[in-house]
Structure 1
Amino acid sequence: MKKSLGYQTTIDYYDCDAGVINSVDTVRAILVKAAEIMKLSVVNTTIHEFSPIGISGVLVIEESHIAIHTWPEHNYVALDFFTCNERYDLTEGIKWIQEKFKAKKYRTQSSQRGFLDEINEDESA
């Protein structure tokens, strides 16, 4: 694996409980608890409720950020974890969030961001 500055994990949660994923207070509480489970340190939270439905938000964490977008009308949640270190194991928190959102399934994808060899190459040019 190449050395990079950031590690991004995206999770798509399907068939969620629309009432759960359309409640700002519930979503905030779930994400803050999930961060605790994953040993991530929350610095600040901003979550916006759209009218008539849907939520977007971000938790700034010392390790980078957690972002969420919900579509209750489709029972769907898109969640991003961006961390500055690959040592964070997000698995337990991702499964816990699935349980709390009452999602029937989820899919994860991971990628690296800011490859150091490419950054250093640019600096030497």
Structure 2
Amino acid sequence: MLSDAERLRALALRAVGAAGLAPVGELFHRFGAPGGVTGMVLLAESHLALHTWPELAAVTLDVYVCNRDADNSAAAEALLAALEAAFAPAHSERRRLVRGDVAARD
């Protein structure tokens, strides 16, 4: 699966929908041998990016969600959990970055 851009695209879109996030566009690209994939799903709430290295059996994910009117943290966690379950890694690391407040200013 790590070199199959279409399967990764379908997986990402299913996981995004199951998490309750709204996709507005996507782009997935398979590179030459050994066939890693970089994919991006643009979300109304920001984005999901994924990168695969089949030769290393590795995947990295970046989920960024923001919304001035709602806290999407639970949706981001659900998205990561769904993708982690699908990839079933032997090892996993997570880093959470809380970004600045972008609330409307008068």
> How high is the TM-score relative to the length of structure 2?
0.81
25-34 or 85-94: which moved more? Answer: 85-94
Greater radius of gyration (CA): 1
Q: Which residue of 1 aligns with 2:77?
A: 91
Equivalent-residue separation in structure 2 for 1:30 and 1:87 (angstroms): 20
Equivalent-residue separation in structure 1 for 2:84 and 2:93 (angstroms): 10
List gaps (5 residues or longer) in structure 1: 1-19, 121-125
Q: Which residue of 2 aligns with 1:21?
A: 2
Equivalent-residue separation in structure 2 for 1:92 and 1:24 (angstroms): 22
Equivalent pair of 1:98/1:105 in contact (CA under 8 Å): no
Identity %: 27
Equivalent pair of 2:28/2:38 in contact (CA under 8 Å): yes
Cα deviation, 1:1-40, whole Å, max 9, x if unaligned, reads xxxxxxxxxxxxxxxxxxx111101100111011011111
**Count of residue correspondences:** 99
Equivalent pair of 1:38/1:93 in contact (CA under 8 Å): yes
Equivalent-residue separation in structure 2 for 1:88 and 1:38 (angstroms): 11
Equivalent-residue separation in structure 2 for 1:84 and 1:33 (angstroms): 20
Structure with bigger strand share is 1
Equivalent-residue separation in structure 1 for 2:101 and 2:45 (angstroms): 17
Equivalent pair of 1:35/1:41 in contact (CA under 8 Å): yes
What secondary structure does 2:80 align onto?
A: helix
Does residue 112 (structure 1) correspond to residue 98 (structure 2)? The answer is yes
> Looking at both structures, which has the greater relative contact order when contacts are Cα pairs under 8 Å and sequence separation is at least 6?
1
Q: Aligned match of 2:38 in 48, 52, 56? A: 56
Equivalent pair of 2:66/2:72 in contact (CA under 8 Å): no
Amino acid in structure 2 at the alignment position of 1:41: A
> How high is the TM-score relative to the length of structure 1?
0.70
Does residue 75 (structure 1) correspond to residue 60 (structure 2)? The answer is no
Cα RMSD of the aligned pairs, angstroms, is 1.9
